[in-house]
Amino acid sequence: MLVRDAAKAADTFFDVLVIGAGPTGLACAIEVQKAGFTVALVDKGCICNSLFHYPSHMTFFTTPELLEIGGIPFPSPNPKPTRNEALQYYRLVAAHYKLDVRQYERVERVMGEDGEFTVRTEDRFGRTGALRARKLIVSTGYYDLPNLMCIPGESLSKVFHYYNDPHPYFDMDVVVIGGKNSSAIAALELWRSGARVTLVHRHEGMHRHVKYWIKPDIENRIKNGEIEAYFNTDVVEITQDAVVLKTREGLKSIKNDFVFAMTGYHPDFNFLESMGVRFVGPDRLPVCNAETLESNVPGIFLAGVIVAGSRTNEIFIENGRFHGGQIAQALLGK
């Protein structure tokens, strides 16, 4: 039986521990707490760490009500809220529910079994700790692990897999790699801030799923020659002063100061495997009960984008926020 009385739980022993304090993790903690269980969250960064690292001027593609968690309205004067509005909203929700969030503690190892898990952590200063829980919810997202190109020069300090702000790249030669939303947004903002932008994509054009208000903008900038574009092209090497491209006409070296490799991200499959979670199929779908979200490892539940494996375009805040309710119902059933 799960202990549903906070007074019976030790300071570091909980009914449920949520690994990952993004919007889905927060939603899970809220629903589990509402169901009467003791719960804490642990995250290697801050609350909504991935969202914090989104571009500073980012606007969501969705409406405020589809980002709401815990039954708390998301007030916004904009039809599509900004990153900063979302961060404020999730902070206020966490404070409203008095969630126990252990920020800046990286999970190093998970031991034990259903009913008696021990989670070993390490803080920013290398100090180790341990949290114990009867059940675990893993909601670690995918934004922290970029898909690497594995080419010479990718580790140079001029190469970034995240885009934040265009200001530092004024009057610089910048290459943006990729053909989806993040690439288009980065290229447009950099160009509008005075960078000389070259976009490189391995396919024949911008991806068909680029948002309808962004796609014509980037395509018109390319058509007008304001942003240079190389399609059906791969980056094969990055040097201190140039980028080497493999085009249909052969190799081409172009002058370059900075590179934004917007090549996508993937879940931490190694971490899940270390806990015994199994995967199936080429998309590495974790073995998971579709109704309860309990993995093949008894007592370990999965939530958010990691449920879809490498198909990271299937689960977002809008639908992942409901995973907490599914898990809470499963725990009550036990």
Q: What is the secondary structure of 1-47 as a DSSP string? A: -----GGGS-TTEEEEEEE--SHHHHHHHHHHHHTT--EEEE-SSST
Asked whether residue 16 falls in the same domain as residue 84, the answer is: yes
Q: What angle do CA 20, 26, 31 make, to 5 degrees?
A: 125
Asked whether residue 125 falls in the same domain as residue 18, the answer is: yes
Cα distances (Å, whole numbers) of residue 228 to 70, 147, 174, 217: 45, 24, 10, 14
Q: Is residue 222 part of a domain?
A: yes
Query: Which amino acid is present at 272?
Result: L
Residue 138, CB-side half-sphere exposure with 13 Å CA sphere:
29
3-state secondary structure of 195: coil
Mean pLDDT of 205-210: 93
Q: What is the pLDDT of residues 225-281, one digit of tens each?
A: 999 999 999 999 999 999 999 999 999 999 999 999 999 999 999 999 999 999 999
- Indicate the pTM of the whole model: 0.90
Q: Which of these ranges, 9-18, 47-56, 119-128, has the smallest mean pLDDT?
A: 9-18
Q: Give percent above pLDDT 70 in the chain.
A: 97
Confidence band of 321 (pLDDT split at 50, 70, 90): very high
Q: What is the pLDDT of residues 82-107, one digit of tens each?
A: 999 999 999 999 999 999 999 999 99
Asked whether residue 120 falls in the same domain as residue 32, the answer is: yes
Predicted confidence at residue 57, as pLDDT, reads 86
Asked whether residue 139 falls in the same domain as residue 271, the answer is: yes
Asked whether residue 178 falls in the same domain as residue 289, the answer is: no
Asked whether residue 140 falls in the same domain as residue 17, the answer is: yes
Asked whether residue 254 falls in the same domain as residue 272, the answer is: no
Query: Which amino acid is present at 73?
Result: P
Predicted confidence at residue 56, as pLDDT, reads 87
Q: Is residue 154 part of a domain?
A: no
Q: Is residue 243 part of a domain?
A: yes
Predicted confidence at residue 11, as pLDDT, reads 54
Give the count of domains, the chain: 2
Cβ 137 vs Cβ 32: under 8 Å: yes
Annotate 234-261 with b (16+ C-beta within 10 A) or e (fewer): ebeebeeebbbbbeeeeeeeeebbbbbb
Predicted confidence at residue 12, as pLDDT, reads 77
Q: Domain of residue 137: give its range.
A: 6-145+265-333
| CA separation for the pair 81, 58 (Å, rounded) | 9
3-state secondary structure of 126: coil
Asked whether residue 306 falls in the same domain as residue 164, the answer is: no
CATH number at residue 237: 3.50.50.60
Q: In what order do the strands lie in the sheet with 159-160?
A: 159-160, 258-261, 173-177, 196-200, 228-230
| Residue 71 CB partners (closer than 8 Å, separation 6+) | none
Mean pLDDT of 169-198: 97
Last residue of a domain, one of 204, 232, 261: 261
Mean pLDDT of 288-314: 95
Asked whether residue 180 falls in the same domain as residue 313, the answer is: no
